[in-house]
Every structure is written in C-alpha cells, then in structure tokens.
C-alpha cells in the first residue's frame, strides 16, 4: 500500500471510531450529538476530563471498549506518522508534487524511457546539450549513476504503462527515446507512445536484428542497435584511428563541447530567400555549415556554396557548441 492510501485509511478509521462513539452515547445514554461528540473525543484522547453526565452501567462498558479501541488506534497512527516523517516519506511526496508541477509546464520536450547501460549516456548527452526532457525509470538507483542526477526531471514508474507516459506529458512532447533492457518492452513503449501521441518522433533501441522491423511497424522513426554501432566503432578504431580520435576530440572537448546539430527553417524564418553568404553564420556565431537538406530535392548538399539560396523547410546541418546553435535558432526563427 502506498503512502497516500495509508494516510487515507488512517483518516477513515479515525472518523469511523468517532462516528461509532457518538452513535453509542446517543443510543445508550440518550445524549445530544454535541455531548456525545465531546465525550468521544476526550475518551479517545484519554485527557482525563469528567464525563458530561453520570454514565449508566452500559455506558461504562461502552466507554471501556471505546478507550481500548481508540488508544490502540492512536498508538498505531502515532507510530505511522513518526515513521512517515523520520523515513523521509513526506519529503518524497513533496518531491513528487514538485516534479509533477515541472512536467505540467513542459512543452516540446523529450521523454527518455530507461536509464540502464545505454540510457545513462542518452541522458547525459541531453543534459550536455541543454535539452528539455523527462526521464521515466523504475529503479532510482540507476538514475543516481547519472552525473548531476539531482537536476533531472523524472518519474519513477513503468514506462510501458499508459498512465506513466501520460504523467510524463507525452501529449505535449516532441519526441521519445526508448532504451529499456528488452526488445519486447521497447516495442511495447513505441506502440503505446504512438497511440497516445501520433505525431511523436520515437527513437528506440534494438538488441536483436529482427526487432528492428517490429519497432518500425510499431511507429519508431529510427531504430538503433548498440551492437551494430559498437561493432562499427571497433572497426573504425582499427582502420581509421586518427579520424576516430579527431571526431572524439571535436565532439567531446571539455571546453567547447562541439555538436553536429540540425536547424529547420520554417516559413516565417528570416533566412527564407537569403543565401548562405548573406546569413554569414560563421562570422556572426562561429558556426560551420556542413550541409543542407533541400526541401525540393530531399537530398543533402554538402559544403554548400555561399550563393545557395535557402527555402522554407530546408534543414541546416551545422557544427557548433550548444550555446552557438541556440543563438542561431533564435536569430533565424
């Protein structure tokens, strides 16, 4: 039984004892409701005040039973309340209320399901790039292994549950990453999330090759296999060690934390109709434009020329720090 149910049960039992006490004095002693309520309260509380009126023999027997039942309950309730405060359950409830409030204020955020061996690095990357996200994890000990986990907005619960995903703000979310331990769970999360928010972009982890197709059928926009990625990385270290080292240094430098990011150009963007040279993002922001995904051809234009004119729905692929990228987003959109 969770803490909320325990509190509710305690209040219900207390009110029931008071109701029984009032009814007993009204029925046995023919007292008024106020007299019966007063007598019930001082009896349960064992404060030692005098009776309202002299009690009959039946009234004394009823009072003895009420004292035994009432004091026993108060002892239980007192020990429960002490445990509630001492064990930090009150702090836990207040913490959950704070998390619920923070999540209710989020829009266009990401949901990360699972903080295991893979999910931990996903969370740390989202934190490094200053993204808005909510973590859903059943085991809080796994969450504590993430750097600066105290700042993470999270929900402790089952990611395959509709109720848990709704509590994470899935209907207002931008995307979802499912990195749970098993393919079955990741397929189920994908299917459930897509039914709750059809416009959600879902990226899922697949362990077995045959799970990739199932996840895409369920609604995943992209499926990533850690085994496949790990194998390619090992091959790259063997065949292209200098290139691999360069990319690691570029993307993981402690001072700059460079990232390759995409910036979509909407219809109202200031960049529509302008050329790459007119934007001059390298001079203004120190940003390198690596490629542009063209709306018209749906192809990538690598190392675009300065005279290339931009259209709405084009996507800029740039390399810069998260701060520089955010400045560019604000500038053109």
What pLDDT is stored for residue 173 in this prediction?
95
Contact 310, 275 (CB under 8 A): yes
In angstroms, the CA 202 to CA 218 distance is 10
Tally of CB atoms within 10 A around 112: 26
What pLDDT is stored for residue 255 in this prediction?
59
- The answer, yes or no, to whether residue 215 has pLDDT greater than 90, is yes
What pLDDT is stored for residue 271 in this prediction?
87
What pLDDT is stored for residue 151 in this prediction?
84
- The answer, yes or no, to whether residue 252 has pLDDT greater than 70, is no
- The answer, yes or no, to whether residue 147 has pLDDT greater than 90, is no
Q: Which of 322, 311, 204, 302 is nearest to 258 (CA)?
A: 322
User: What is the percent of the chain with per-residue pLDDT over 90, rounded to a whole number?
Assistant: 29
**Average pLDDT of 255-262?**
75
Q: How confident is the model at residue 248 (pLDDT cuts 50, 70, 90)?
A: confident
Give the pTM. Answer: 0.63
**Average pLDDT of 126-154?**
87
Token pair of 242, please?
A: 């200098």
Contact 218, 192 (CB under 8 A): no
- The answer, yes or no, to whether residue 95 has pLDDT greater than 80, is no
**Average pLDDT of 156-172?**
92
**Average pLDDT of 33-49?**
83
Of 48-62, 99-113, 153-167, 201-215, minimum mean pLDDT range: 48-62
- The answer, yes or no, to whether residue 1 has pLDDT greater than 60, is no
Of 126-135, 209-218, 242-251, minimum mean pLDDT range: 242-251
- The answer, yes or no, to whether residue 253 has pLDDT greater than 80, is no
What pLDDT is stored for residue 36 in this prediction?
87
In angstroms, the CA 167 to CA 159 distance is 10
Q: How confident is the model at residue 167 (pLDDT cuts 50, 70, 90)?
A: very high
In angstroms, the CA 332 to CA 267 distance is 11
Where do the domains of the chain lie, and which CATH numbers do they carry? 3-87 (1.10.287.70), 106-230 (3.40.50.720), 257-332 (3.30.70.1450)
- Report the Cα–Cα distance between both ends of the chain, in Å, rounded: 50
Cα within 13 Å of Cα(38), Cβ side: 10
Chain mean pLDDT for the chain = 86
């Amino acid at each position: 039984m969770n803490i909320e149910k325990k509190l509710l049960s305690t209040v219900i039992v207390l009110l029931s004892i008071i109701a029984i006490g009032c009814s007993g004095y009204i029925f046995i002693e023919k007292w008024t409701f106020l007299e019966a309520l007063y007598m019930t309260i001082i009896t349960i509380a064992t404060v030692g005040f005098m009776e309202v009126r002299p009690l009959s023999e039946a009234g004394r027997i009823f009072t003895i039973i009420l004292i035994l039942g009432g004091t026993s309950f108060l002892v239980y309730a007192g020990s429960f309340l002490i445990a509630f405060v001492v064990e930090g359950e009150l702090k836990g409830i207040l913490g959950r209320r704070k998390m619920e409030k923070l999540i209710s204020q989020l829009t266009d955020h990401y949901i990360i399901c699972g903080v295991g061996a893979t999910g931990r690095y996903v969370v740390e990357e989202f934190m490094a790039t200053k993204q808005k996200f909510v973590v859903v994890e059943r085991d809080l000990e796994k969450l504590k292994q993430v750097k600066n986990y105290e700042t993470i907005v999270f929900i402790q619960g089952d990611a395959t549950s509709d109720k848990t995903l709704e509590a994470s703000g899935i209907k207002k979310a931008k995307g979802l990453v499912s990195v749970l331990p098993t393919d079955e769970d990741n397929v189920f999360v994908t299917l459930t999330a897509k039914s709750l928010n059809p416009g959600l972009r879902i990226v899922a982890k697949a362990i077995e090759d045959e799970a990739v197709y199932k996840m895409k059928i369920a609604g995943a926009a992209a499926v990533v296999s850690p085994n496949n990625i790990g194998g390619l990385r090992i091959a790259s270290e063997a065949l292209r060690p200098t290139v691999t080292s360069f990319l690691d240094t570029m993307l993981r430098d402690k001072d700059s934390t460079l990232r390759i990011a995409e910036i979509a150009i909407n219809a109202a963007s200031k960049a529509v109709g302008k050329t790459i040279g007119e934007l001059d993002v390298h001079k203004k922001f120190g940003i390198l434009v690596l490629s542009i995904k063209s709306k018209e051809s749906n192809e990538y234009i690598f190392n675009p020329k300065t005279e290339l004119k931009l259209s709405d729905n084009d996507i800029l692929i740039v390399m810069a720090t998260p701060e520089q990228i955010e400045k560019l987003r604000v500038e053109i959109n």
